[in-house]
């Protein structure tokens, strides 16, 4: 048995606490990233996933600025027609295009529906997955888990890009 000094034994015990705090901190950061990404995505996705009671229809783009377009809303079913609604579009559209939308309750703001709108609403979660993949691969040295998380995030962003 090797006899070690008192300071050496304390340093070894402290090193274990440093490793434990690094692992706990990294997992806390990963969970925080994923929870905040899912929360931010759900603000928009709830109108597309929980469809009961929401007004659906199409919007004809009448005026487009940098990333916001306005135009009349044509209802589908029992929805009410509106002379002007506002939508935030991530890509350029042309005046006169018709976009399928869902109206947010008690507002004149609409959200793009269909597969493109569905995947676009989950882009904040995709960004969180990409960042969580970096943390898992770097801080935790869990490379497969990191690549899996980053791959899921990249696939989600790619799907939104292709379907918009």
Alpha helix segments (H runs only) across 58-122: 114-121
For the cut 70, the answer to whether the pLDDT of residue 146 exceeds it is yes
For the cut 90, the answer to whether the pLDDT of residue 68 exceeds it is no
Q: Which pair of tokens denotes residue 26?
A: 């990294």
Is 65 a member of any domain? Answer: yes
Is 103 a member of any domain? Answer: yes
Domain that holds residue 92: 52-113
What are the angstrom distances between the C-alpha of 32 and each of 39, 114, 125, 131? 10, 29, 11, 11
Is 161 a member of any domain? Answer: no
Cβ-based neighbour number of residue 88 at 10 Å: 13
Is 59 a member of any domain? Answer: yes
Question: What distance in Å separates the CA atoms of residue 126 and residue 154, rounded to the nearest whole number?
Answer: 7
Is 151 a member of any domain? Answer: no
pLDDT, residue 1, reads: 60
User: What pLDDT, in 10s, does the model give residues 7-27?
Assistant: 666 566 677 788 888 899 999
Domain count, the chain: 1
Q: What is the CATH number of the domain that holds 102?
A: 2.40.50
Is 123 a member of any domain? Answer: no
What is the model's pTM? Answer: 0.82
Cβ-based neighbour number of residue 53 at 10 Å: 6
Question: What distance in Å separates the CA atoms of residue 154 and residue 143, rounded to the nearest whole number?
Answer: 16
Question: What distance in Å separates the CA atoms of residue 134 and residue 118, rounded to the nearest whole number?
Answer: 25
Is 149 a member of any domain? Answer: no
For the cut 80, the answer to whether the pLDDT of residue 74 exceeds it is yes
Question: What distance in Å separates the CA atoms of residue 158 and residue 156, rounded to the nearest whole number?
Answer: 5
Is 73 a member of any domain? Answer: yes
Mean pLDDT of 28-44: 96
pLDDT, residue 9, reads: 61
pLDDT, residue 152, reads: 97
Q: How confident is the model at residue 80 (pLDDT cuts 50, 70, 90)?
A: confident
């Amino acid at each position: 048995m090797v006899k070690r000094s008192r300071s050496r034994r304390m340093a070894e015990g402290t090193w274990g606490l440093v490793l434990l705090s690094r692992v706990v901190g990294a997992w806390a950061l990963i969970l925080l990233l994923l929870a905040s990404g899912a929360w931010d995505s759900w603000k928009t996705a709830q109108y597309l996933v929980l469809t009961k009671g929401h007004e659906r229809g199409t919007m004809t783009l009448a005026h487009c600025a940098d990333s916001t377009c306005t135009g009349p809303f044509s209802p589908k079913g029992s929805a009410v027609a509106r002379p002007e609604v506002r939508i935030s579009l991530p890509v350029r559209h042309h005046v006169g295009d018709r976009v399928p939308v869902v109206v947010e309750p008690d507002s004149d703001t609409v959200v793009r529906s269909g597969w493109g709108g569905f995947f676009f609403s989950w882009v904040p979660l995709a960004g969180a997955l990409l960042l969580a993949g970096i943390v898992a691969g770097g801080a935790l040295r869990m490379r497969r888990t990191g690549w899996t998380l980053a791959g899921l995030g990249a696939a989600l962003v790619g799907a939104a890009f292709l379907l918009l």
